[in-house]
């Protein structure tokens, strides 16, 4: 096993891609939240809408997979 991941350039590149992925995920979630006709967070937390929570969870997984594929190349 090589210690390639300990090199500063590799570590910083990994951190940059991780931060970019989280930012892209956050922006895409905000866009989806704005496109829906109601407040997702209020509907899930305050009204305890379990069906919507499952749909939003699946959407988060899908957005995460898309962002990971885009960042990976």
Structural domain including 16 reads: 9-72
Evaluate whether residue 30 is within a structural domain.
yes
Residue 22, pLDDT > 60, answer: yes
Evaluate whether residue 3 is within a structural domain.
no
How much is the pTM? 0.69
For residue 41, the model assigns a pLDDT of 83
Q: Which residue has the higher pLDDT, 73 or 38?
A: 38
- Say which residue the tokens 């970019």 belong to: 20
Evaluate whether residue 39 is within a structural domain.
yes
Rounded to 5°, angle at Cα 59 from 18 and 27: 45
Query: How many independent structural domains does the chain possess?
Result: 1
Evaluate whether residue 2 is within a structural domain.
no
pLDDT band with cut points at 50, 70 and 90 for residue 51: very high
Evaluate whether residue 16 is within a structural domain.
yes
Cβ neighbour number for residue 21 with a 10 Å cutoff: 16
């Amino acid at each position: 096993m090589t210690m390639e991941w300990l090199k500063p350039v590799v570590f910083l590149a990994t951190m940059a891609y991780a931060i970019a992925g989280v930012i892209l995920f956050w922006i895409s979630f905000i866009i989806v939240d704005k496109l829906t006709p109601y407040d997702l967070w209020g509907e899930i937390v305050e009204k305890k809408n379990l069906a919507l929570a499952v749909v939003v969870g699946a959407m988060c997984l899908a957005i995460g997979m898309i962002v990971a594929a885009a960042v990976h190349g």
